[in-house]
């Protein structure tokens, strides 16, 4: 599987643990989609757009460039793949505090409190 994604063949036997790390990074991938779903649900489309583009533009592009530069500088392409794997982790580190702040600010929109239908006293007219 590593060779299919252009991973250097000389490192395949050494870095099989990388597959395990990729599987562990999947929950971090969900952070962006959680933000998007929550903000679309409470009609905050600007926040939904910001959180979605945050990972795709503000985090991914600099990290890809940094990983590519380090791999060229050290002549070892493993750093490019490590940087690619870190995109979701870094984006979630930035978005989790954003989600916590939004949870406190918009909790009245996020949690649906049911109406109290219990009748306190029932009077029967005779």
Q: Taking 80 as the threshold, does the pLDDT of residue 64 lie above it?
A: yes
pTM above 0.85, yes or no: no
Task: Place 108 in a pLDDT band, splitting at 50, 70 and 90.
Answer: low
* Residue 63 to residue 84: CA distance in whole angstroms: 7
pLDDT in tens, 18-41: 666 666 677 788 888 888 888 888
* Residue 111 to residue 26: CA distance in whole angstroms: 26
Q: Region 86-110: what's the mean pLDDT?
A: 81
């Amino acid at each position: 599987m590593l060779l299919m994604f252009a991973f250097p063949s000389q490192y395949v036997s050494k870095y099989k643990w990388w597959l395990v790390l990729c599987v562990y990074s999947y929950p971090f991938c969900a952070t962006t989609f959680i933000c998007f779903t929550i903000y679309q649900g409470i009609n905050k489309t600007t926040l939904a757009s910001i959180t979605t583009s945050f990972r795709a533009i503000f985090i991914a592009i600099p990290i890809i460039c940094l990983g590519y530069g380090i791999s060229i500088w050290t002549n070892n392409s493993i750093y490019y793949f490590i940087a690619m794997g870190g995109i979701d982790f870094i984006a979630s580190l930035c978005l989790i505090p954003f989600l916590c702040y939004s949870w406190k600010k918009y909790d009245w929109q996020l949690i649906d409190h049911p109406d109290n239908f219990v009748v306190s006293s029932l009077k029967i007219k005779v």
